[in-house]
Structure 1
Amino acid sequence: MSLINTKKYFTPQKMMRTVIISLIPLIISSIYFFGWRSFALLLWVTIFGVATEWIFEKKYGKKVSEAIFVTCILYVLTLPARTPFWIASLGIIFGVVFGKEVFGGFGRNIFNPALVARAFVYVSFPEQLTIQWSKSALGFPGGFGTYLTENIDAISQATPMLVFRETGQMASSIKLLLGNVAGSLGETSAILIILAGVYLIYKKVAAWQTMAGVIVGFTGLSSILYFLGFAQVPNPIFGVLAGGFLFGTVFMATDPISSPKTKEGKWIYGILIGIVTVIIRGYALFAGGMMFAILVGNTFAPIIDEGVNHYKKSKKGVKNKGKEVTV
């Protein structure tokens, strides 16, 4: 049964519906951890996201793609629960226009639109996106019994990555796995994200090569720096579980449009993202790093595919030439 009841206004995309299904547990968990405001924010952003794409597609007589729902959900799940509605709507409009429509619409975009939206609001409104956090609810009914959980007013209760940067303390792996820590709406529960990743791989919607590449690149470099004694780089396990790393690995880096198409390219692309994430987290201004690392990867994705295909053709040419000489 289709998630969209009519084909009159939307272009059906089975792959996108699969992604939406994988995101449902994270949407529910965002309500549990931070309150019903997260769901209200999702509805608000979706209205503006769909309307923006409809305005552009209408000019060309095209329908709105179901991918816009995935873009809106992913974008909202990367936001803090207290993000002002006007900032959230401004971000999705910017992401759809400059991350998608300026390239010609769905299937032609170079960058992930959800990340373009997130990066825009992140650098434009740093106070709202990096300081105003909410406590994670515990027990029953959790956030289901409130509109918005309590505000955080101390660095010791902020997101795990921010706390590590300020104090060097690392949250327990159990908390990071379950998700009862402060953070963006859909990025706190590592176990739910991992299960979603397994589901997407099983459904052949997301490339496991990309996910594996990101993890290899990240854990490889972070392990080297950590064991060499660089204090600004946490142990690899904490690094993987914190800061939206898994969310970006499973849902953002694997975007089939803005990532490489070749298998070898997916590995290179993933490793590049993992390495850049470590560098940004440890030595740049930003505590997260995953968002910008994936955008960097998006930039190089076409070049990576071009290089891989060129290498294959060259290797094939040399092999054929060798056969001719043998004959």
Structure 2
Amino acid sequence: MFQKQQIMRKVLYSLIPIFLYSIYLYGWRVIAVTAVVFGVGILSEFIMEKARNKKVSEAVLVTSALLAMSFPPAVPLWVAAVASVFSVVMGKGVYGGFGRNVFNPAITGRIFTYISFPLLMQTTWMIPGVFGTLGINGQTQGSALIEAVFMILIVAAAYLIITRNYEKKGLVKITIFGSIAVTIALYVITSYAGVLQPEVDAVSTVTPLEIYRGLDSENLPESAEYINDNTLGNLFFGRRVGSIGESAIFLIIIAAIYLMWTKTANWRMILMTLLSAAVLTTIFYYAGFIADLSGGALMNPAGKTLLEQIVDITKFLFSGSLFYVAVFMSTDPVSGPNKPLAQFLYGIIIGSVTIVIRVFSGFPEGTSFGILMGNTFANLLDEISPKPKKKAKKSTAKKQTASNKPASEGAKA
């Protein structure tokens, strides 16, 4: 069924530790979101590629994994399903399938849902740790266990029916529309009955980037009061509110080393995304723009030692999904440029746009917009960048040297 792609498998291998760690942070919801996104994504790819008499590419597995781990852990599963369809169909399928998409499919799906359902994407946070049992945002809608069970069953049934009976077009259409109708009925009936309410303690949780804007989590249990601290250690080890896969910075760095060592990811894009973000953050920090987000109460360099200022800048970089996007999404070989100079410029665009939006826009995070902006200019960057100089082959150089020698010297050689 799948078209084998070794590079895509290496990306999946690098994501496994992050996925397992996220289960410890957020519990069964990680498995539920991942199952729905993978099932719907693969099924959408199957339908699109089958119409072209092609196999499903393993790239859809990477798209599904990256998309699933970019969601808040308590996001309603129907939102995750919509994003998965949009990622595969509109982000890749309409352009002709794998290798022809202009924009990163995972980011395309995430930003579509981020703009279309902003409340559901910004209020479905959880307190990380102890398998997601510490608390859930009081504004969260849905995300109960019964929802996960029914959604997974619906997706699994649709997947089996369509993949085994694709030639029966009528049955396929009935299955697609029937699945949508059953899902809508599920949410209407269970919401009316009040059984979709979260079964864990409700608190008010905010992300580290929202804390820099002067907000705090409220009604936290004593064991989770660290959430409001934004300490360097908490941010580095994922002890903070955030999306499923973005918070474990230490595991993302390990994944980056593995991907670069195996030549799966391009180091230029990773380096320049992070470096440009660091440079711009430093400029905005000393200019006072980041401190202005909280009215001067936070991230203020005045009266601090150089080491404390460096820690402030590092914490701002560790917040949000900057490292996750730099390692796994800026390095997408399809939607990114190919020439070395273009790759440097591409990373600068992503990192710079991310920080500008963080500091000056109404959105607390700007990584998705940074990737889309970089994708938009990727081809242009390749066009205006000079071709890399080809290195002369050593064997050819040796032959030319030998041919220029006198016959006697050549014989001695």
Question: Normalised by the size of structure 1, how large is the TM-score?
Answer: 0.87
Find out whether 1:158 has 2:206 as its counterpart.
yes
Alpha-carbon deviation of 1:167? 4.0
Aligned letter for 1:151? I
Alpha-carbon deviation of 1:166? 2.7
Aligned twin of 2:252? 193
Aligned twin of 1:269? 346
Q: Distance in 1 between matches of 2:27 and 2:353?
A: 33
Bigger-Rg structure (1/2): 2
Q: Distance in 1 between matches of 2:104 and 2:33?
A: 20
Aligned twin of 1:57? 49
Contact 1:164/1:170 (CA < 8 Å) preserved in 2? no
Alpha-carbon deviation of 1:44? 1.2
From 279, 283, 308, the counterpart of 2:356: 279
Aligned letter for 1:163? I
Alpha-carbon deviation of 1:285? 1.3
Q: Distance in 2 between matches of 1:274 and 1:236?
A: 14
Aligned twin of 2:324? 247
Contact 1:156/1:163 (CA < 8 Å) preserved in 2? no
Task: Specify the SS of the correspondent of 2:214.
Answer: helix
Question: Normalised by the size of structure 2, how large is the TM-score?
Answer: 0.69
From 371, 382, 385, the counterpart of 1:294: 371
Q: Distance in 2 between matches of 1:227 and 1:293?
A: 23
Aligned twin of 2:121? 129
Aligned letter for 2:135? E
Find out whether 1:258 has 2:335 as its counterpart.
yes
From 234, 238, 242, the counterpart of 2:315: 238
Structure 1 vs Structure 2: percent identity of aligned residues? 39
Deviations 1:30-83 (A, max 9, x none): 100001111121011101000001101001110000010110010010101111
Q: Distance in 1 between matches of 2:206 and 2:30?
A: 18
From the superposition, tell whether residues 170 and 214 of structure 1 become closer, same or farther in structure 2 (CA, over 3 Å): farther
Contact 2:339/2:388 (CA < 8 Å) preserved in 1? no
Unaligned runs of 5+ in 1: 1-8, 313-327
Aligned letter for 1:79? F
Alpha-carbon deviation of 1:170? 6.1
Contact 1:176/1:241 (CA < 8 Å) preserved in 2? yes
Aligned twin of 2:187? none
Contact 2:126/2:205 (CA < 8 Å) preserved in 1? no
Alpha-carbon deviation of 1:271? 0.8
Contact 1:232/1:283 (CA < 8 Å) preserved in 2? no
Aligned letter for 2:137? I
Aligned twin of 2:62? 70
Find out whether 1:114 has 2:106 as its counterpart.
yes
Alpha-carbon deviation of 1:155? 8.8
Q: Distance in 2 between matches of 1:156 and 1:274?
A: 30
Q: Distance in 2 between matches of 1:191 and 1:83?
A: 25
Aligned letter for 2:127? K
Aligned letter for 1:218? A
Alpha-carbon deviation of 1:131? 1.4
Aligned length: 298
Task: Specify the SS of the correspondent of 2:41.
Answer: helix
Unaligned runs of 5+ in 2: 139-201, 217-227, 294-298, 300-311, 390-413
Q: Distance in 2 between matches of 1:88 and 1:303?
A: 32
Q: Distance in 1 between matches of 2:332 and 2:384?
A: 20
Find out whether 1:21 has 2:6 as its counterpart.
no
From the superposition, tell whether residues 68 and 173 of structure 1 become closer, same or farther in structure 2 (CA, over 3 Å): same
Find out whether 1:225 has 2:305 as its counterpart.
no
Alpha-carbon deviation of 1:215? 1.4
Q: Distance in 2 between matches of 1:13 and 1:205?
A: 12
From the superposition, tell whether residues 253 and 122 of structure 1 become closer, same or farther in structure 2 (CA, over 3 Å): same
From 22, 28, 34, the counterpart of 1:42: 34
Q: Distance in 2 between matches of 1:162 and 1:155?
A: 16
Q: Distance in 2 between matches of 1:149 and 1:42?
A: 21
Contact 1:35/1:149 (CA < 8 Å) preserved in 2? no
From the superposition, tell whether residues 295 and 232 of structure 1 become closer, same or farther in structure 2 (CA, over 3 Å): farther
Task: Specify the SS of the correspondent of 1:215.
Answer: helix
From the superposition, tell whether residues 31 and 190 of structure 1 become closer, same or farther in structure 2 (CA, over 3 Å): same
Aligned twin of 1:325? none
